[in-house]
Structure 1
Amino acid sequence: MSSNNASQVADFTAPGMKSESADKVIAILDDRLVALLDLQLTLKHVHWNVVGPNFIGVHEMLDPQVDVVREMTDTIAERIATMGGVPLGTPQSIVDRRRWDEYSIGRGLVVDHLAALDKVYNGVNSDHRAAIEKLADLDPVSEDLLTGQLGDLEQFQWFVRAHIESASGELKR
């Protein structure tokens, strides 16, 4: 297997899984790895650059999210390796495989960062859900792994939304 393409057919895989299925699973997991590595860095970026009212609450809310997302990336990378793939986490490899635009806010107000972060979570969470659906027929172990992660990711999005919800119950955008 080439060291620069995590989605090539594996030389070996988990017992009982065909190489073709493993290749599909690795590609799905690789996409999720890139998304979570990007999310981890974005969360830390927001943590460093958020200002204004409720700054400290948001600042302190984000570090635990970073820690959990970092664990998620490690779990996915190890699953890719278990399947016979090569998990790639170098900065350039992440940028090369990313399918979305760069997070665009530098130093900014809480409400601006959280509205943008809500959109980031929309993408990550909906793509995680789509990956779970694809994995249902391919690999129940990877499906279960992502299902557990999605529960945490959706809770993190709820935390973000709770900060930007108005008294009327609508999200400020």
Structure 2
Amino acid sequence: MNTSDKTAEFTAPGIKNESAQDAIALLDDRLVALLDLQLTLKHVHWNVVGPNFISVHEMLDPQVDSVREMTDTIAERIATLGGVPAGTPQSIVDRRSWQDYSIGRGLVTEHLVALDKVYNGVNKDHRDALNKLSELDPVSEDMLTGQLAELEQYQWFVRAHIESASGELKS
């Protein structure tokens, strides 16, 4: 399913149709990334083992719930702007521009180092979208700003588990 297959005949009052379409495209990319992130977080939650397992296992569920709420907020904003949010599994895979998370069952550090890289990509792309949305739709920009603050905090939680005594991240 392509999000441009169907669009409403309207957008939010005060936003130009072209700006709305550009904002929808940016938000759609963020939707795909966050749907992928919430599934990846749950996958790590199920497959992490070893020392500190329980603290990481319990740290991830609130992140999953929060990211799930972010996806709902973005999908509803897409609809508000006149787009059609698509969240089916195949549509996510078709629109994704990165490789699937490759670790199955693995040790805490192995998963968290990989998860840190996932957060690097998601957070960088969120920030890039913010820069573009500032001109297109300040409401969507504000929404993503709040999300990015949470996502960066979650990355900090991950990094706190993998930081060495010298203050450097293990890789």
TM-score when normalising by structure 1:
0.96
Partner residue of 1:59?
57
Matches within 5 A, 1:35-74: 35-74=33-72
In structure 2, the partner of 1:6 is 3
Identity %: 81
Structure with bigger RCO (C-alpha 8 Å, 6+ apart): 2
Kept in 1, the 8 Å contact 2:2–2:91? The answer is no
| Structure 2 counterpart of 1:78 | 76
Distance 1:43 1:16 in 2: 37
Unaligned runs of 5+ in 1: none
Distance 1:7 1:52 in 2: 45
On the 8 A contact 1:10/1:22 being kept in 2, the answer is no
Q: What secondary structure, in the 3-state scheme, does the structure 2 residue paired with 1:136 have?
A: helix
Q: How many residues align?
A: 170
Q: CA RMSD in A?
A: 0.9
Q: Which 5+ residue runs of structure 2 have no aligned equivalent?
A: none
Instruction: Using structure 2 for the length normalisation, give the TM-score.
Output: 0.97
For residues 1-40 of structure 1, what are the structure 2 equivalents within 5 Å? Answer: 4-7=1-4, 10-40=8-38
Partner of 1:101 in structure 2? Answer: 99
Q: Contact between 1:7 and 1:30, CA under 8 Å: does it hold in 2? A: no
1:40-84: per-residue Cα shift (whole Å, max 9, x none)?
Answer: 000000000000010000000000000000000000000000000
Contact 1:7 1:24 in 2 (8 A): no
The alignment partner of 2:136 has SS state of coil
